[in-house]
Amino acid sequence: MALPPFLAALLTRAGVLREQETIAEEDALAFRSPLVPTDSVAGRSLVIVIAIMTFLAALAASAALLVSQASVEWRAEASSEASLQLRPTPGRDMEADLKTAAEILRNTPGVREAQIYTKAESEALLSPWLGEGLDLSELPTPRIVVVKLDPKQRPDLLVLRAELAEAVPSAVLDDHHLFLERLGDMARAVVAVSALIFILIVGAMGIAVASATRAAVSTNREIVEVLHIVGAADTFIAREFERRFLALGLRGAAIGGGAAIASLMLAKTLTHSWRATAGAEQMEAIFGDFSIGPEGFVIILMLAAGIALVTGRLSQAIVFRHLRRLG
């Protein structure tokens, strides 16, 4: 017996719906499998990229931290000292002027110590510029008095300069303020460059993650579209991508952050081993002993965790954008 047209259409529609539900269930089960497997070329490549970017970002942040810490130490050390220079003047007794200047300095509140450099010690200060083995006895070499200042009770340098100029006209007191300003400018420049490098690295990593997410969406486009058509929530689909990319980000960030910490510890060990060499002294003058302290390690760990979270969130945002285009 032939069925009425409306009933036949209804049954046909029900059969199509049941078939679509079966396909959706199968696709959902397939979707439960990793979208970007870590054992695939895409997954391994993304982990490597994240690890490299995390390593470089951690080194840039560590360099900024090391230079900032070293700059504080430089300025603290330089600001605790001053130097008095006495130039040879015809008709004046250099040794008597040195003793007079040192006595004035020692009697000034805020001055801890005034050490007179001998003629040989003063001449040795010129050797880095003039070379070794030169006879400087015939040259009018200035004499130096090194002054240790009390950081808690600094003397009034204007009054002290006036008093020294009256007693010893050839005396020049230098509190190293120009040197301190240059140190501060250099440290700020290094920190700014490190921050710029850090931003560029994070931006490049974001582009890499975005490209990997788009590739994963394109590869699983049919599954995503079917789930979207049958009514799967966008948050459910995006969360699956976020979880997978978060796992990849955590793995890459852990590798990169661990490598950065190991590199800093190795650099610290090598610096201690090469401490006697000129190169090591220069590196230690700029970066200290490569010890970033507990707060530095915490910053690197937080950086690695932040990169992993950004990886997951960025992938989720890209999937949401794709789903909105599907309507």
57 touches 198 (CB < 8 A) = yes
Average pLDDT over residues 231-251: 81
% of the chain surpassing 90 pLDDT:
3
* Per-residue pLDDT band at 242 (split at 50, 70, 90): confident
* Per-residue pLDDT band at 10 (split at 50, 70, 90): very low
Residue 81's H or E segment, with its range, is strand 81-86
Dihedral over alpha carbons 17, 22, 27, 29 (to 10 degrees): 140
* Per-residue pLDDT band at 137 (split at 50, 70, 90): low
CA distances from 252 to 57, 80, 103, 192, 300 (A): 13, 46, 64, 26, 14
Structure token pair of residue 262: 């190991």
297 touches 261 (CB < 8 A) = yes
The reported pLDDT for the residue numbered 15 is 47
143 — phi, psi (to 5°)? -105, 150
* Per-residue pLDDT band at 38 (split at 50, 70, 90): low
The reported pLDDT for the residue numbered 133 is 65
pTM of the predicted structure, to 2 decimals: 0.64
What are the DSSP calls for 182-248, one per residue?
HHHHHHHHHHHHHHHHHHHHHHHHHHHHHHHHHHHHHHTHHHHHHHHHTT--HHHHHHHHHHHHHHH
* Per-residue pLDDT band at 134 (split at 50, 70, 90): low
* Per-residue pLDDT band at 256 (split at 50, 70, 90): very high
256 touches 55 (CB < 8 A) = yes
Q: In which region does residue 110 sit, left (phi positive, over 0), alpha (psi from -120 to 50) or beta (all else)? A: left
Average pLDDT, the chain: 76
